[in-house]
Amino acid sequence: MTQTTVEAPSKDRAQIPARTLRKDRYWLSPLATFVFFLAWVVYATVRSMMGSSFWVDKYHYLTPFYSPCVSKACPAEAADLGRFVPEHLPFFIPYALISLPFLLGFRLTCYYYRKAYYRAFWLTPQACAVPDKSPVRRTPGGYTGERRFPLILQNAHRYFWVVAGLISIVNTWDAIKAFHGADGGFGIGLGTVILWANVILLWGYTLSCHSCRHVMGGRLKNFSKAPIRYWLWTQISRLNTRHGQFALITLVSLAVTDAYVALVAHGSFSDLRIFN
């Protein structure tokens, strides 16, 4: 009987002499992602640190970039959780101090965003079948996935998801308060519609998260013994297929909502009223 020797698999990737075997413009997608993300980060950073034009007192519009507003510089009507952060702080400390760090952590550790910014900012790799140009790959020991600091912190995503869910509840309350008329009663304006469209999309992004899907039924061994959780897992699984779309659309909806509230608060134009 002939003995067959099986060689251990190589630890290195297959070496292809060509720069890439792809003939299409594969770099367009990561480039577009880079430009879009960079523009959004610049806008969100500037707006979060401006400390102005974030609240429309007449209609109770609060931009999500300042929610919950916990600074003593916030109007009392906008500070539902209280005003316990001193008013005079360095400009880089936002009024929504207790929410923005967690929301940033939730986005940065999101499975979709990892793929997007790994490719667009780190080139790890830029696209499928394209050599990896990341400096991480050339470090001693090579690339080890997300098992070492700092990438091991990506595993905190499930915890950020819990806080993001709580903040989505706060955003929903902000949208409810936006049903405020000029005379103090019930009213609906274009700002109300925009705030509600944004919060619905934010819930879509939050509930379509892989962590949410896992919590609903990821650890079940027998679906027939947990029909309710199985139904929830099924619905979340359907949403999960659109998670990447929600991730991008919510960046747009957040910027549009903030810009609209800021322009109305600044007095650039009046809110288009639908009722009262």
Q: Please give the model's pTM, rounded to 2 decimal places.
A: 0.87
- Whether 10 is covered by a domain: the verdict is no
Residue 17 neighbours by CB under 8 Å, 6+ apart: none
- Whether 136 is covered by a domain: the verdict is yes
pLDDT digits (tens, 9 = 90+) for 138-159: 555 555 667 777 788 899 999 9
Give percent of the chain with pLDDT exceeding 70.
Answer: 88
Q: DSSP letters of 215-232?
A: IIIIT-S-GGG-HHHHHH
pLDDT of 150 reads 77
> What mean pLDDT do residues 196-223 have?
92
- Whether 23 is covered by a domain: the verdict is no
- Whether 110 is covered by a domain: the verdict is yes
- Whether 5 is covered by a domain: the verdict is no
- Whether 8 is covered by a domain: the verdict is no
- Whether 11 is covered by a domain: the verdict is no
Q: How many CB atoms lie within 10 A of CB 178?
A: 23
Q: How many domains does the chain have?
A: 1
DSSP 14: P
Give the separation between CA 20 and CA 176, rounded to whole angstroms.
53
pLDDT of 137 reads 57
